[in-house]
Structure 1
């Protein structure tokens, strides 16, 4: 029986994405403020943010968070044994 994509795997996937996106977006917005880029028009600001953050998410942050959570799960399961 299908869970309609709402099972524990999807919940973990959502959590990994949030753990990756929130700090990266917060840092990017802070850097925009520091370097005066917040003065850019909204469409240009969004273009720059997505051009930097989407590849960082796909190739670095989401795989990194996923691997860290897998390692933590392995440590936890070996500690329980």
Structure 2
């Protein structure tokens, strides 16, 4: 690795060698970030589906409670 770096600097010059190295670093980081963001997006999609299911269940339970309260109110008003 060291010999490759030295040969690159000797043949291209230090600024160009550093530019190539930085470009390679940015490319690798971009790929790593893209993979991480894909995983985060998948997790968020799963959470959205889970939250929708939870909200539906809570909404159904609230509807049942409202029906029971209305029935009790009807009994008490008679």
Structure having greater relative contact order (Cα 8 Å, sep ≥ 6): 1
TM-score range, shorter chain: 0.3 to 0.5
Q: TM-score, normalization: structure 2?
A: 0.40
